[in-house]
Amino acid sequence: RISTLLDAAVANGQQWLTAPRIRRTRRDGPYDYLIVGAGFAGSVLAERLASDGGKRVLLCDRRPHIGGNAYDHFDRAGILVHKYGPHIFHTNSEDIVAYLSRFTAWRPYEHRVLAAVGDHRVPMPINRTTLNTLYGLGLASDAETEAFLQGRAEAVDPISSARDVVVSQVGSELYRTFFEGYTRKQWGLDPSALDKAVTARVPTRFNTDDRYFLDRFQAMPLHGYTAMFEKMIDHDGIELALGVDHRELRNQRLAPHTIFTGPIDEYFDHRFGALPYRSLAFRHETLDQRRFQPVAVVNYPAPEVPYTRITEYKHLTGQVHRQTSITYEFPQDDGDPYYPIPRPENAALYKRYEALAHEHPQVTFVGRLGTYRYYNMDQVVGQALATYRRMSSVPEFRQTD
């Protein structure tokens, strides 16, 4: 049981589950690759290049830890928390599960989310239970639920924005209740100004299935993400430089090739203007109670509530502890870039940077920030593995000095 393991580790003051081993790097090369960013994109590529390709890699991150936004650690109370908000792993790709399973065992976990609407806590995505609770209905079958929603849905043609997707499925009232306020807070934009893909991530259900994801594989790394990353990059061919910004290294000719997983516009000194990213402020708290809320995440769509959601980590990890740690998320413009903002003008600006990147064959851009895509973790792993396959398929790759 993970709880036993974690509690034992904390009680014994063991750091092996928490602190990534910081290896001093000589920084004198030579390296075959300089990888910027030790999140999923950078770490997967470092692992592949070193252990499959036999390459020498310098992996740097300006943060003092590995794991990128998926980094987790034990807080002062000894509870495993996610520094950058809740990360739930889910995928339909067997290849990606097989790859990551080399570095971690898993704890089966199916994510459930409730939305706070008035005094109700109702399942999100909207399902039959949501409607029955909210409206005091007795919808008893999928067909009845479908008919109910069809009666509210409003024809929108074409469906082009994040607003259109929802209104065409559930109508304006449910759209306002669950999506309008939440999205305006989360993105600082009205849903009508965002790509339809944003809200299309959240389906509508006619049944009572209250799982947030339906993917075939849903689980959390048994000892956490950081422990998984540690194992991934623990290789003699990988030197790790934490707390080091690419800016400090870029003129040192450390490697003939760079893999950049930070913001692509930053790499090019914002030549065409800054790509917009949405950020978050996190408020982490530990409470003197065992449980705070019934599920891991409760969403707050109401516009008057300044945060979007509260996460309680013990649901994700299964950890047993007499206290509990939670995180509030307050979206904001300033701060670390967390979300590329999916809308047409941003995609057009990104295309200009992408074209510029093609003129720099000695640099490869990967990851959520490097390719300006609203990707989940599994998609970033898939993108990094595909990038490695492409890189390693050229004949020169296998040549050694």
Least distance from ligand UDP to the Cβ atom of residue 309, Å: 8
Contact by Cβ (8 Å): 259, 42: yes
Among the listed residues 205, 223, 309, 368, the single contact to ligand FAD using CB under 6 A: 368
Compare residues 186 and 383 and give the one whose CB is closer to ligand UDP: 186
Question: Which one of ligand UDP, ligand FAD, none interacts with residue 115, CB within 5 to 8 A by kind?
Answer: ligand UDP
201 binds, among ligand FAD, ligand UDP, none (CB under 5 to 8 A by kind): ligand UDP
**Residue matched to tokens 């993400």:** 225
- Lay out the site mask for ligand FAD across 31-50 (x = CB under 6 A, - = otherwise): -----xxxxxxx--------
Helix then strand then coil, % of the chain, to nearest 5: 35, 20, 45
**Residues numbered 127-186 forming contacts with ligand UDP, rule: CB under 6 A:** 178-179, 182-183, 186
Candidates 10, 46, 48, 68: give the one binding ligand FAD (CB under 6 A). Answer: 68
Helix (H) or strand (E) holding 392: helix 377-392
Whether 43 contacts 60, CB under 8 Å: no
What is the phi-psi region of residue 196: left when phi exceeds 0, alpha when psi lies from -120 to 50, beta otherwise?
alpha
Between residue 190 and residue 249, which ones bind ligand UDP under the rule CB under 6 A? 198-199, 201-202
Print the binding letters for residues 328-367 with ligand FAD: x by CB under 6 A, - otherwise: ----------x----------------------------x
The correct pick among 31, 74, 84, 350 for binding ligand FAD (CB under 6 A) is 84
State yes or no: residue 50 binds ligand UDP (CB under 6 A).
no
The DSSP letter of residue 51 is I
Which residues, including other chains, have CB under 8 Å from residue 253's CB and lie 6 or more apart?
none
120: number of CA atoms within 13 Å, CB side? 16
Q: Kindly state whether residue 299 participates in binding ligand UDP, applying the rule CB under 6 A.
A: yes
Which amino acid makes up residue 255?
A
Asked whether 178 and 118 are in contact (CB, 8 A), the reply is no
Indicate which of ligand FAD, ligand UDP, none lies near residue 246 (CB less than 5 to 8 Å, by partner kind): ligand FAD
Q: Provide the minimum distance between the beta carbon of 114 and ligand UDP in the complex, in angstroms, as a whole number.
A: 10
Q: Which stretch binds ligand FAD (CB under 6 A): 151-159, 176-184, 311-319, 376-384?
A: 376-384
* Pairing of the two strands 324-332 and 238-242: unpaired
H/E run at residue 318: none
Indicate the residue among 81 and 131 with the shorter CB distance to ligand FAD. Answer: 81
State the nearest-atom distance from the C-beta of 241 to ligand FAD, in Å: 9
Min dist. Cβ of residue 1 to ligand UDP (A)? 28
Q: How far is the CB of 351 from ligand UDP (least distance, A)?
A: 23
Q: What are phi and psi of 12, to 5 degrees?
A: -85, 0
The nearer residue to ligand FAD, 53 or 340, going by C-beta atoms, is 340
- Angle CA 265–269–271, to nearest 5: 75
Q: Smallest gap, in angstroms, from Cβ of residue 157 to ligand FAD?
A: 32
Residue 351 CB partners (closer than 8 Å, separation 6+): none
Stretch that binds ligand FAD, among 137-145, 292-300, 320-328, 372-380 (CB under 6 A): 372-380
Site for ligand FAD in 159-188 (CB under 6 A): none
- Site membership for ligand FAD, residue 145 (CB under 6 A): no
Q: Contact, 196 vs 179, CB < 8 A?
A: no
Q: What angle do CA 288, 291, 295 make, to 5 degrees?
A: 145
Q: How far is the CB of 301 from ligand FAD (least distance, A)?
A: 17
Per DSSP bridges, beta strands 363-365 and 339-340 are unpaired
Beta strands in 89-180 (DSSP E): 89-91, 106-108, 113-117, 120-124
**Residue 61 has which token pair?**
């991150």
Residues at the interface with ligand FAD (CB under 6 A): 36-42, 60-63, 68-70, 84-88, 245-246, 261-262, 280, 338, 367-369, 375-378, 380
